[in-house]
Structure 1
Amino acid sequence: MKRRIQFHIPQAYAGLSLLEFLAQRFPYHDQTGWAERIAQHRLQVNHRPVEAACALARGDLVEYIASDIPEPRVNLDVTVIFEDADLFAINKPPNLPSHPGGRYFQHTLWARLKTHFGLAQPMLINRLDRETSGLTLVAKNEQAAKELRTEFSSRRVEKKYLALVEGVFPPRLAARGLLLPDPDSPVKKKVKFVSAEVAPPEHASRWAETVFQGLETVSGDVSKAWKSGPVSLIEALPTTGRLHQIRATLQTLGFPVVGDKLYGHDPAIFVRFCKDELTDEDRARLRMDRQALHAASLRIQHPRTRRMLELEAPLPADMAALLAAMRAARLNP
């Protein structure tokens, strides 16, 4: 598969040469590297090969055939939970992006479905974050995709997540409210949960509802670098499907997800993570190298037969290992 990156030139870059623009906007190659790729006709402006000195205007389309961008290592251990003529139910491993974006193209679930499962155009119905593991539905045809998306948008799908969270979680906790931009965070995409009884009309698209149930709490220090507290295994049953809903809600409630760099106790950890500057203390405090969130089960109507599908993905090995280590540390302090 060839990766093509397209970029429409905004006013801020108008007047620069193609070479100057590329070196400023995409610094993973220097000017010499970009000049070589322009000479190889791997870059086009408005669908035509051009010289490196070509002056760019606002609205120009720059296209790059980007097969040589190095991609980070990922976990490609994708397993199939269910398959028929209309859909796949995939158990996505942690540390695997669902869709291409940023540095990731070949190293994505979407690409894996094309190259190893023979899907010409995978249609992912529920997208999980890169670090989140668990059930992902993939439609094999347009009609199945339409039906499955309608089930999700109509809130007829029963979803259950498992998570490890910091602290002693109560037996049951229901959260209803809004997910609003977090003005105190330097991270633009971060949201915060604000409890509310009803959704104001202007914020209807930000309404979020989740029921949480505590399953088990374990204590036991497994690191000498950080004095850790108890961890709870919980179920999260969301009735809405907002971006970062479970993680943001749990942070506001005071039980951040173990390993969550963005919605954890220390917001500076995410900044250090982005700069590849995590300390040993940061890693010990996180406990895991990814957020401990797992899409464990789905109950959904089949798009063709209309029978109910009940799909389950077992607790992943890394989450189970942390629980086992803490239980052992509690018994052998």
Structure 2
Amino acid sequence: MAGGGKKHRLADSSDGARKAAKLSDHRQEQKEEEDSLTAAEIYYEEAGLQRIHAYFHKFATFAKGRWIGRTIFEVFSSEFRDRPSAYYESAIVKGIIEINNAQVQPSTAVRNGDLVTHFIHRHEPPVTTQPLSIVCETDEGLLVVDKPGSIPVHPTGRYNYNSVTKILEKKHGYPSLFPINRLDRLTSGLLLVGLNSNIARRMESDLAAHRIQKEYICRVKGVFPTGRIVCDQPIRVVAHKLSLNCVDREEGKPSLTEFELLAVDDDQLHSVVYCRPKTGRTHQIRVHLQFLGYPIANDPLYCNQEVWGDDMGKNGALPASQILPPATTPLLALAASVNVSAMTPAELAVLKSVPSDASEKVITSVSGSGDGGRKQKKTKMVGTTNTSFSKNESNVAWGPLVRRMEEWKTKQELAVLVDTPLDSEAPRKCDKCADPFLPDPTPEQLCIWLHAWRYSGPGWSYETELPEWANSAKEHIDRVKYVKEPVVD
């Protein structure tokens, strides 16, 4: 028995290695196809935004155990419900969905070991046309970049070619890149990138040892106090999927940020503030400013009254009303029960007319329309997180606020779909993949007012121009600029 078990395990290991090698070949093939594209074939500008020509991207996976014996149509229509079942039937017939690199029929059964591929028609979100500028390139291979807001550093989620590394590769000709520090997609400013692994490791070591000083500029809500303000509240992650962090005196990691007022707007509504983080926690500046009562004024995460309540998280306070029902509005209930992108203009018109206090009957009538009056199967809304918590006391306390943030995000996504133009000049869906054409982001949605202004390290210092929203601080910036203190023997 023992010998037989060992043989079985060896066979499983060999089979796993074969599958891994096959997937690796597919990924290499995909990479070679992407490498062959030029910038002119990828990027174009329209209506003040940098856009990507829609393209097919090949995703591949081996059949899951629960797929075995089921038809390929049944697998896709039940497992991947972000698109209508009619799309999957058409995609299989057209060869967009394949098994073992061969075209099949919707009735084809999935077998053990089958490689299932899906050529996804990708529509990347547009980003700013503000150029990704090179501040400096050193002989050692350090590339210093000024990143505009709206562009993520790495390919992630719906962003691939509209990312810093891909833009540097396709538009600037850098084939091998090793990002050293990170900036959030909506944050602008200095980004350090290695052109080889040696400089990247050295710079990462300097960052970890706090030998690199980072200086930021931000624009906050309210009149910030004068003088040097220090916040040393510990920070921890509340919800990974939401990238939500908080001050937690019991479980947070040590964090310290220095702030100083630079200028106050004439209308007294906003202030431009200098920030010097001494530690590098995720969202550290944003969380500390919220705690002090002066959140970054256009921050959708930490300056969101609908989520945080009137106190906006000042002093770590949670909203007074912590008990929320599972779906506080018909829009949110609908997001959990119907694929909005598959709805007809008539159905969307009904949805738009639903008042905030409408009954479940109205929701049922909308979700059942177009399906013979039968209620549709539940569909997970794109972007819905369903965050789970560990059962410690502080996480349980934060649970209602996280659910409030989840509901707010779902509502924003649903509102975008509902507001998508329905007229013939702006078709609601792509004719290749049935994805809805979403409205363009507004200029205010392309960035938050947080800018990585200046980085200094052993023997070097780099800085960028201040963004337009910080113009009032230009005459005051030199008085706060960090100067490394001399070493005293």
Using structure 1 for the length normalisation, give the TM-score.
Answer: 0.73
Work out the CA distance in 2 between the residues paired with 1:24 and 1:261: 33
Work out the CA distance in 1 between the residues paired with 2:63 and 2:260: 49
Q: 1:291 maps to what in 2?
A: 448
Decide whether the 8 Å contact of 2:263 with 2:271 is kept in 1: yes
Q: Which amino acid aligns with 1:90?
A: V
Identify which of 121, 125, 128 aligns with 2:180.
125
Work out the CA distance in 1 between the residues paired with 2:115 and 2:284: 36
Q: 1:146 maps to what in 2?
A: 201
Alpha-carbon shift at residue 180 of structure 1 (Å): 2.7
Decide whether the 8 Å contact of 1:300 with 1:309 is kept in 2: yes
Q: 1:230 to 1:309 in 2, by over 3 A?
A: same
Work out the CA distance in 2 between the residues paired with 1:29 and 1:192: 35
Alpha-carbon shift at residue 189 of structure 1 (Å): 2.7
Gaps in structure 2 of 5+ consecutive residues: 1-33, 36-56, 308-404, 418-441, 475-489
Decide whether the 8 Å contact of 2:218 with 2:470 is kept in 1: no
Work out the CA distance in 2 between the residues paired with 1:180 and 1:128: 18
Decide whether the 8 Å contact of 1:258 with 1:287 is kept in 2: no
The 5 A counterparts of 1:25-36 are 29-36=83-90
- Partner secondary structure for residue 177 of structure 1: coil
Identify which of 203, 209, 220 aligns with 2:256.
209
Is 1:70 the counterpart of 2:150? The answer is no
Q: Which amino acid aligns with 2:236?
A: L
Identify which of 213, 235, 254 aligns with 1:179.
235
Alpha-carbon shift at residue 81 of structure 1 (Å): 0.5
- Partner secondary structure for residue 152 of structure 2: coil
Q: 2:170 maps to what in 1?
A: 115
Gaps in structure 1 of 5+ consecutive residues: 221-228, 279-285, 302-307, 325-333
Decide whether the 8 Å contact of 2:62 with 2:115 is kept in 1: yes
Decide whether the 8 Å contact of 1:123 with 1:140 is kept in 2: yes
Work out the CA distance in 2 between the residues paired with 1:44 and 1:309: 53
Q: 2:385 maps to what in 1?
A: none
Alpha-carbon shift at residue 100 of structure 1 (Å): 1.1
Alpha-carbon shift at residue 158 of structure 1 (Å): 0.3
Alpha-carbon shift at residue 105 of structure 1 (Å): 0.8
Is 1:310 the counterpart of 2:310? The answer is no
Identify which of 255, 272, 278 aligns with 1:239.
278
Q: 1:144 to 1:219 in 2, by over 3 A?
A: same
Q: 1:70 to 1:239 in 2, by over 3 A?
A: same
- Partner secondary structure for residue 192 of structure 2: strand
Q: 2:159 maps to what in 1?
A: 104
Identify which of 229, 243, 259 aligns with 1:189.
243
Decide whether the 8 Å contact of 1:296 with 1:315 is kept in 2: yes
Alpha-carbon shift at residue 33 of structure 1 (Å): 3.6
Q: Which amino acid aligns with 1:210?
A: T
The 5 A counterparts of 1:253-332 are 253-268=292-307, 271=409, 272-276=411-415, 288-289=444-445, 290-301=447-458, 308-317=459-468, 319-320=469-470
Q: CA RMSD in A?
A: 3.6
Work out the CA distance in 2 between the residues paired with 1:249 and 1:56: 53
Work out the CA distance in 2 between the residues paired with 1:321 and 1:276: 34
Q: Which amino acid aligns with 2:244?
A: K
Decide whether the 8 Å contact of 2:63 with 2:110 is kept in 1: no
Alpha-carbon shift at residue 181 of structure 1 (Å): 4.0
Residues 2-31 of structure 1 show CA distances to partners (whole Å, capped at 9, x for unaligned) of 745466887888886544454456556543
Q: Which amino acid aligns with 1:161?
A: Y
Alpha-carbon shift at residue 310 of structure 1 (Å): 0.6
- Partner secondary structure for residue 151 of structure 1: helix
* Structure having the larger proportion of residues in strand: 1
Q: Percent identity?
A: 26
Decide whether the 8 Å contact of 1:261 with 1:267 is kept in 2: no
Alpha-carbon shift at residue 138 of structure 1 (Å): 1.0
Residues 189-237 of structure 1 show CA distances to partners (whole Å, capped at 9, x for unaligned) of 311123x5xxx7xx57x332211111111242xxxxxxxx521111111
Is 1:157 the counterpart of 2:212? The answer is yes
Q: 1:163 to 1:265 in 2, by over 3 A?
A: same
Q: Which amino acid aligns with 1:207?
A: P
Work out the CA distance in 2 between the residues paired with 1:12 and 1:292: 47
Work out the CA distance in 2 between the residues paired with 1:255 and 1:56: 58
Aligned residues: 290
Q: Which amino acid aligns with 2:122?
A: I
Work out the CA distance in 2 between the residues paired with 1:180 and 1:60: 42
Alpha-carbon shift at residue 108 of structure 1 (Å): 1.1
Residues 77-124 of structure 1 show CA distances to partners (whole Å, capped at 9, x for unaligned) of 111100134021110111112111111111111210110111223221
Q: Which amino acid aligns with 2:282?
A: L
- Partner secondary structure for residue 259 of structure 1: coil
Work out the CA distance in 2 between the residues paired with 1:27 and 1:88: 42
Q: 1:6 to 1:191 in 2, by over 3 A?
A: farther
Residues 270-319 of structure 1 show CA distances to partners (whole Å, capped at 9, x for unaligned) of 534444459xxxxxxx9943310000011124xxxxxx2211011123x1
Decide whether the 8 Å contact of 2:69 with 2:109 is kept in 1: no
Q: 1:49 to 1:99 in 2, by over 3 A?
A: farther
Decide whether the 8 Å contact of 2:263 with 2:472 is kept in 1: no
Alpha-carbon shift at residue 154 of structure 1 (Å): 1.7
Using structure 2 for the length normalisation, give the TM-score.
Answer: 0.52
Q: 1:149 to 1:56 in 2, by over 3 A?
A: farther
Work out the CA distance in 2 between the residues paired with 1:8 and 1:262: 37
Q: 1:30 to 1:158 in 2, by over 3 A?
A: same
Work out the CA distance in 2 between the residues paired with 1:149 and 1:256: 29
Is 1:94 the counterpart of 2:251? The answer is no
- Partner secondary structure for residue 183 of structure 2: coil
